[in-house]
Structure formats: C-alpha cells, structure tokens
Amino acid sequence: MSFFPLPPLVSTAWLAERLGDAGIVILDTSWYLPTTGRDARLEHRAGHIPDALFFDLDQASDTSTALPHMLASEVAFAAYAGGLGIGSGTVVVAYDGSGANMSAARVWWMLRAYGHQAVAVLDGGMGKWRAEGRPVETGDGRMPGPTVFKALLDRTVVRDLDQVRDILTTRSAQVVDLRSDGRFAGTEPEPRPGIPSGHMPGALNLPYTSLVGPDGTVLPDDELRERITRAGITPDRPIVATCGSGTSACNLLLALQRLGYGTGALYDGSWTEWASRGMPVARSET
C-alpha cells in the first residue's frame, strides 16, 4: 500500500485503511497542561488507536533543564525514537486527544527537525476517530523491537532567546504567539507558577485553537489563509512561532507547511523561558 507522497495531515479514513501495516508507527502524543487535570498516559491506557504507542513528550525532551519541552540532544532523541521502532524507512502518524492538535503538531515538528520527514498529523485526532466509531484498544500496547534512528538536528528551524531578542529588535522576522488571547494580553494567568502573562513586545497573536474547526480538523486552506492574514501575519515572510513551551506553536508551522509557505521556525524556549529570564513583558487589552 502506497504511503507517498505523504502530506503533513492525513485523514482518519487514510489511517484506518492502513491499520496493521508494518511500515507505519502510530504515536499517541497527547500531553496536557497540569491545570487541565488530565493524565495523558492514563487516557492512552483507557483507549487508543490500535497499535498506537504512547509518546511521552516530557521524556523525549531535554530532561536536564527546568524549562519544559526543550529539544533533547541528538543522541538522546535518537535513542527515544529508536526505542519506539522508528527508523529511516518508517512512516509516523501522530495524534493527540486535545481536539486541537496541541501536542501532535509538536511531535510532527520534532521528528522533522531531527531529520525524519515521513511524518504526518492525524487530522481530527482521537476525537474524530472515536466520533466515527473506529476501533479502539486499551492497555499499554506491545512495544516494538528497538531500531536505529539517525537524528541530525536542523538548527535552521530553531531559534533561541538571543536570536528572538534580535529578531524583535530588527524585525527581520515575524514572531507569532499561539497562546490564548487572554494570556497574550496579560488578562489571564499563565498555567505555570511564577510565570507572568503578557507577550513579547512586537509579537503577533494567533491562538492555536483558532486553526481548527468544531470537529478538531484543521481548517480548509482558504480559511487558514484568512485566519493567518487577519492576525497581521505575512505568510511568505520569515516566521518564528512561540507559545508557552514550544508545543502548541507548532500548529502554525504545520499550517504553513500545508499551505506551501515553507517551514518557519520555532522559539524552543517560548514564553516560559522569555518571562522567567526577566525579558520585557508587554500587555494589552483583548
């Protein structure tokens, strides 16, 4: 059964036709903020797409820093991905249970950043899969035998704190914050203790939840373009996406890829690093 060309998004019907294929690794990449009260691993055990493996975003990130979800070393990520049976010829389909691709887009971006291009996000995620009455498994699932994953980080798609400070000064790229309107404006609290809300001076705001429809599927291309341009973003100019911890921001990078505008870049440290390092904080009314 043919996998290629593999688009950035695949439908539930596409995946259902390919369940059980040895060439696909399905990843339940669900991750939730502590304030939601949801436990992604317990939800995975309670029900997941058949053969899906749980991808622990925290464990797959740099565990040596207090900053959440920073990219791990190439060696560490290669070991984690290889342990899930992902090799050079593997097609990966990532999904989550958020209803808005909160973390699936991040894992899609991570794999591509480390050099694995054969990865797609399941459009609509677990919510759409369940709504369509498709099969669900319980338990942890059977882990595959480890394989060799060769990780080579593309540093052109990552930005650090100093680079973002320079970008905001020179306006050499557009910094787009995918957090909610209220967190961006400074009228709602951040979910992480000790982190003030607000935004980087000069950043634009496009909440990641506005990029999907009621069923959790990514908006049609024309609506995506309209949402992006309405936020003041010029999609054919350089873009750096940011959010709370570099997770939901990847939804914009996914949308740009789908629309053919290129890859964009991610500020890996995102708002948690920016605000905790005492950088300037702007606030505004929504």
Please provide the size of the chain in residues.
Answer: 286
| Dihedral over Cα of 159, 163, 165, 166: its sign | negative
Tokens of 52: 């899906």
Q: Rounded to whole angstroms, what are the CA distances from 114 to 7, 102, 136, 167? A: 18, 20, 30, 24
Contacts of 12 (CB under 8 A, 6+ apart): 122, 123, 124, 128, 129, 132, 134
Which of left, alpha, beta for 72 (phi over 0: left; psi -120 to 50: alpha)?
Answer: beta
Tokens of 193: 């203790």
Among 78, 121, 212, 243, which one carries the catalytic annotation? 243
Cα separation, 256 vs 229, in Å, equals 12
Residue 243 is a catalytic residue = yes
Active site amino acids: 243
